[in-house]
Amino acid sequence: MKIHIKNGRVVDPMNARDEVADIFVAAGRIVGIGAAPADFHANRTLDASGLVVCPGLVDLSVRLREPGFEYKATLESEMLAAAAGGITSLACPPDTDPPLDEPGLVEMLKFRARNLPGPRVYPVGALTQKLEGRMLTEMAELTEAGCRAFTQADAPLTDTQVLLRAMEYAATFGFSLWLRAQDVSLAKDGVAHDGAIASRLGLPGIPALAETVALATILQLVRETGARVHLARLSTREGIAMVRAAKAQGLAVTCDVACPHVHLSENDLVSFDSHLHLVPPLRSLRDRDAIREALRDGSIDALCSDHAPVDEDAKQVPFGESEPGASGVELLLPLTLKWARETGVPLIQAIDLISWKPAQILGVPAGHLSVGGNADICVFDETAEWVVSSNTLASQGDNTPFLNHPMQGRVRYTLIDGHIDFEAPR
């Protein structure tokens, strides 16, 4: 199908483009920006007047819940939800049941995803067998099956020698490791940030030290091995400072944060709402403000949704007994826009955090609008106001701390490979 996207504000960080222009799509690719190619006759024209046209979003952490957790969500439901959120490429962590630690499981997931409408799915393979933290997986075979990186997700890795061997192996063969920094012993049994609010509510705490102690180990191993490491979902001011210093020293590290941590803090826990039970926990206002500043100054490379749909029963219990996690793919864009508005950050810089930069971390040809490139495109109305509810979310899990919150900014069209995979109802 040939598609003409007309009169939109084209925002493309990779090409430093922010201007009103037309985009022309044919055979799954962008064939013209500004001027139409010769003999171009559109099958469909999308009027983007007053709308923003940007690269399809790239999300570094989306749990699709298959295989093994279909009672929480299905591949079909979450792929559709991601497309409704403007996401055209996503990284899927390996903490499924069974974990993604064998090539056959990875190939099955990719096969299932290819045959469904929605984003391109890039599995992140398990770093250790069954995510048990003892034996490394066959990274080379998993890479051949389609894994883009390797991680323990939220499963503990207590044996530092295993982590050292993993980094040595990854550095030798050019694999990327994605690690979430948390010392298991210091975080043991904790459900909230270890601060005044948790103490007042009687919730066991996870100290900021749990992140920084683990980070110190990871960064020292990176220095020793030269491994390429992405640090997932940082949550503390001190942790961000450590990563900033590591980058200044030339270490090959990148990092991201999850959208809820940009807007919420431990102070929000006074409601005792189990939807606020997240991993890592919502930290102090000081930490939240440090995250917002690090996004602005470029110290943090990407924003992710950390999408983790949870079934209703797992949230309808006291906070400390609830399952952590929140749905987020449909909130990645509006929460990014909200941060940009509140901090005065230009739209092109905000879009960069959820398109081009995460695409570079994932190592995929996405996140930009270029003639000849894949036609993965998000068209959104940055002024559209809506309220988050089970009726306005497509995800099977409507567990989010932003339930009933007003949002501004909503996707109108999502094109993947030049096909309209999502179109908002009029």
Which sequence positions are flagged as catalytic?
A: 306
Output the DSSP codes for 126-164: ESBGGG-SSSB--HHHHHHHT---EE-TTS----HHHHH
Q: For residues 46 and 71, give the distance between their C-alpha atoms in angstroms, rounded to a whole number.
A: 37
C-beta of residue 126 within 8 angstroms of C-beta of residue 166: no
Transcribe 163-174 into DSSP letters.
Answer: HHHHHHHHHHHT
Q: Provide the H-helix boundaries in 226-364.
A: 237-248, 260-263, 285-297, 312-315, 332-343, 347-352, 356-362
Q: Which of 180, 244, 238, 178 is nearest to 209 (CA)?
A: 238
Give the angle subtended at the CA of 267 by the CAs of 242 and 192, to the nearest 5°: 65
Q: Name the nearest CA neighbour of 224 among 150, 160, 131, 138.
A: 160
Contact in structure between 29 and 68 (CB atoms under 8 Å):
no
